[in-house]
């Protein structure tokens, strides 16, 4: 988990991506774009000024998250500025991302208002509205979702930071697979230095502990049906699968990882593990952060 200041985080990202580019040549073509994206995004956190979200501190003791996912305030101007910067870099990404970025840049340049409308739909969790907008823009819905997520994340990060500063989660016994901050599902897990497992939220990126033998998606704790596998050439990665709900979660053993651990990067460079695991009949949690990586 990264807990240093933002300048240190930018250096952490750079070191992690540079090491990955050297050791994982199959992903080298996509890593420069994503390093730029995450660098722009982390730097934008300090510039985002959303209104603080109201916290449901009473509900968390009964299993409800602190924030209502569909009513998290965000800074629209900051999101638009970040989206503009990301889209200008997307010509070095995949063809799909480059085409999507061009459509958004066209709308922003002509003040069409579709981007601002998309931001409101995304933050309001209006999936039907987003699908309609993606058709209007002649863009794949997942591509639109990808850009809107990355544009709004700094505002969400500010909300998470305020929550952590408020100590609202101190002394809270949270043993669920969903995020205690926003209620979203995790899209990655990791094993810390002490061997404990922590989940990474697929929306706000908050991290929280959960025992290893427990499916975060259905709560199954049967050691005979919640199992993991790994391959000798990649000892830092494990795939935890659940036979009950047929879902899986990628897990990084940070004790065996030969580079600084940055969760969004690990979601990108493990796409081959997704293909293998889906081929076995398991399904994953779609990742807001990296679904369109390769």
* pLDDT tens for each residue of 79-118: 999 999 999 999 989 999 999 999 999 999 999 999 999 9
- Give residue 62's pLDDT: 79
Give the pTM: 0.93
* pLDDT tens for each residue of 117-164: 999 999 999 999 999 999 999 999 999 999 999 999 999 999 999 999
Does residue 165 surpass a pLDDT of 50? yes
Average pLDDT in the chain? 93
Rg (CA), the chain: 19
Does residue 4 surpass a pLDDT of 60? no
Q: With helix as H, strand as E and coil as C, how does the chain read?
A: CCCCCHHHHHHHHHHHHHHHHHHCHHHCCCHHHHHHHHHHHHHHHHHCCCCCCCCCHHHHCCCCCCCCHHHCCCCHHHHHHHHHHHHHHHHHCCHHHHHHHHHHHHHHHCCCCHHHHHHHHHHCCCHHHHHHHHHHCCCCHHHHHHHHHHHHHHHHHHHHHHHHHHCCCCCCCCCCCCCCCCCCCEEEEEECCCCCEEEEECCCCCEEECCCCCCCCCCCCCCCCEEEECCCCCCCEEEEEECCCCEEEEEEEHHHCCCCCCHHHHHHCCHHHHHHHHHCCCECCCCCCCCCCC
- Give residue 88's pLDDT: 97
Does residue 253 surpass a pLDDT of 90? yes
Over residues 32-49, mean pLDDT: 96
Parse the chain into domains and list their residue ranges: 6-166, 186-279
Where does the pLDDT of residue 288 fall: very low under 50, low under 70, confident under 90, or very high at 90 and above? low
Q: Please state which of the ranges 53-67, 132-146, 167-181, 193-207 shows the lowest mean pLDDT.
A: 53-67
- Give residue 292's pLDDT: 52
Tell me if 37 sits within 8 A of 89, measured CB to CB. Answer: yes
Does residue 74 surpass a pLDDT of 50? yes
């Amino acid at each position: 988990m990264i807990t240093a200041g933002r300048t240190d985080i930018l250096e952490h990202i750079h070191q992690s991506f540079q090491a990955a580019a050297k050791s994982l040549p199959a992903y080298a073509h996509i890593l420069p774009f994503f390093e730029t994206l995450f660098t722009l995004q982390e730097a934008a956190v300090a510039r985002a000024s959303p209104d603080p979200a109201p916290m449901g501190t009473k509900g968390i003791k009964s299993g409800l998250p602190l924030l209502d996912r569909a009513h998290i305030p965000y800074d629209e101007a900051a999101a638009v500025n970040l989206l503009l910067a990301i889209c200008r870099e997307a010509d070095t990404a995949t063809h799909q991302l480059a085409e999507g970025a061009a459509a958004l840049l066209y709308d922003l340049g002509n003040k069409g208002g579709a981007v601002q409308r998309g931001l409101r739909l995304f933050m309001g969790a209006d999936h039907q509205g987003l699908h309609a907008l993606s058709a209007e823009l002649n863009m794949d819905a997942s591509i639109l979702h990808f850009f809107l997520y990355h544009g709004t994340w700094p505002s969400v990060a500010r909300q998470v930071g305020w929550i952590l500063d408020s100590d609202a989660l101190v002394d809270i016994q949270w043993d669920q697979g969903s995020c205690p901050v926003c209620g979203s599902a995790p899209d990655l897990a990791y094993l810390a230095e002490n061997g404990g497992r922590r989940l990474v939220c697929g929306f706000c990126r908050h991290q929280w502990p959960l025992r290893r033998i427990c499916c975060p998606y259905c709560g199954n704790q049967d050691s005979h049906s919640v199992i993991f596998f790994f391959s000798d050439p990649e000892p830092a990665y494990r795939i935890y699968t659940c036979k009950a709900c047929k879902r899986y979660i990628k897990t990084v053993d940070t004790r065996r990882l030969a580079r600084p651990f940055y969760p969004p990067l690990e979601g990108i460079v493990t796409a081959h593990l997704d293909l293998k695991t889906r081929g076995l009949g398991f399904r994953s949690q779609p990742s807001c952060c990296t679904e369109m990586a390769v």
